[in-house]
Structure 1
Amino acid sequence: MKNIGVILAGGSGRRLGSELPKQFIVIAGKTVLAHTLHTFEKHERIDEIILVVHKDYIKETEEIVRLEGFQKVKHIVPGGKERYHSTLAALNVYKDEPCHLIIHDAVRLLVTSRIIDHVIEALESHAACTAAIPSTDTILQSDTSRQFVDNIPDRSTLFQVQTPQGFHSDILTEAYNKALSDPEFFSTDDCGVVKRYLPETPIKITQGLPFNIKLTYKEDLSIIERLLLSELK
């Protein structure tokens, strides 16, 4: 089956305090989106790419793809209000073509070929997987008031979720079909949908990297830029 890179680029940048969505900010000479696409474009096992973007930025995205000469980008489609709407948009494009979906946040622009490799390799024997790193901090779980500690989970079993996350398309479609019939459906990521609605499906943890961070706050910009410039030297 084809390995499809699904790049979710529909964020607004509100937490960054930017007028432009984060994926269109220029860092180290390229837009965030271009940095991310470059890694997927050059990966030998990624067969094609679909971009899911805000409907108001379709033309800007098309121009980035044209100027950078990305040949694997086959679809640019609008997303929706919530993150899961973007996943659904990609699922709709490939509804008649069983494939492996490697879903990645466009604003994790430091993703490496090796991280993608781990996800693709996991999909050879598992229907769902996610990049993650072991938690190095103690995590507190609060009570319902969000003011007091209710539980301190064992850190040795805790991981910080990253992307890419990988799925057999039929499994992710089945999970979302069940989710969308649930009036109490909510989603933080695609693995969460599989875990909740197809609990019998094992989700493999694959190796992420600490620097595969998500551009979220202003403070992240200088960190990411230093890492990019270090890599380019």
Structure 2
Amino acid sequence: MKYYAIIVAGGSGNRMQTETPKQFLLLRNLPVLMHTIKAFAQSDTQPKILLVLNIDQQRYWRRLCEEFNFRIPHEIINGGTERFYSVKNAIDSINEESFVAIHDAVRPLVSKALIDNCFKRAEAIGNVIAAVQSSDSVRMLRGDESTALKRDEIYLVQTPQTFSLNILKKAYLQEFTSHFTDDASVVEALKENINIIEGERNNIKITYPIDLELAELLLKK
């Protein structure tokens, strides 16, 4: 069986209060995106890595690779106007039976163990997404009325999200809708059941400045 990892790097960095897209910010003297790619390259599964980048960012990325002597093999795929189209572009480039892990470029602390487990379990049961159970109380707000939800039934979704290529190709033939917030929601629209496996608390998404500081602390450990 063949394995692929689609690394989606389309963030603008607006919420980081910086002009530099967050995937290119330095984390322990290396761009965030390089940490992410290294995690997949060092996994036992050894997937082929497809990096989805906005066309306007590709020259800058190649310059970073030269500057940091980054030589891990990866193929660059043109990004789309929405995450949906970015992932679709990468999926359309794969033409062999395989399992595909789709991962946020700005989750650089994903472990090799989680990557390998996602591929293993997806191969066994068709698909899996990493998620962690909420440790906070959760409420749903509709209009002016809020309602308590059962905390033990709430999971916070992460990546990797791993599927057979066959189901992904079918799912991404659908028309885009704003309800598609991640790959699981796209596949679920085909009436497919989505399987959850335990993610990792350290597998944080770099979105705000405090997230980068936290990632620095976690890497020091």
Q: Identify the TM-score tier after normalising by the shorter chain.
A: over 0.9
Runs of 4+ with deviation above 3 angstroms: 63-66
Amino acid corresponding to residue 187 of structure 1 in structure 2? F
User: Is 2:148 the counterpart of 1:148?
Assistant: no
8 Å CA contact retained: 1:62, 1:76: no
Q: Could you tell me which of 159, 162, 185 is aligned with 2:158?
A: 162
Q: Number of matched residues? A: 219
Instruction: Give 1:217-232 correspondences, 5 Å limit.
Output: 217-230=208-221
CA RMSD of aligned residues (A): 1.5
1:38-65 Cα deviation digits (max 9, x unpaired): 1111112123100001111112223444
Gaps of 5+ in 2: none
2:132 aligns with: 133
2:44 corresponds to: 44
In structure 1, the gaps of 5 or more residues are: none
User: For 1:161 and 1:44, how far apart are their aligned partners in 2?
Assistant: 24
Between the aligned partners of 2:35 and 2:64, the Cα distance in structure 1 is 11
Residues 64 and 127 from structure 1, CA distance in 2 versus in 1: closer, same or farther, beyond 3 angstroms? farther
TM-score, normalization by structure 2: 0.93
Q: Look up the match of 1:211.
A: 202
Q: Percent same amino acid at aligned positions? A: 35
1:104 aligned residue = 103
CA distance in structure 2 between the aligned counterparts of 1:159 and 1:205, rounded to whole angstroms: 9
For the residues of structure 2 that align with 1:118 and 1:64, how far apart are their CA atoms? Answer: 31
Separation in 1 of the partners of 2:47 and 2:127?
A: 19
Report the Cα distance in structure 1 between the residues aligned to 2:100 and 2:47, rounded to whole angstroms.
11
| TM-score scaled by length of structure 1 | 0.89
Distance in 2, matches of 1:17 and 1:78, equals 25
Displacement of 1:93 in angstroms is 0.6
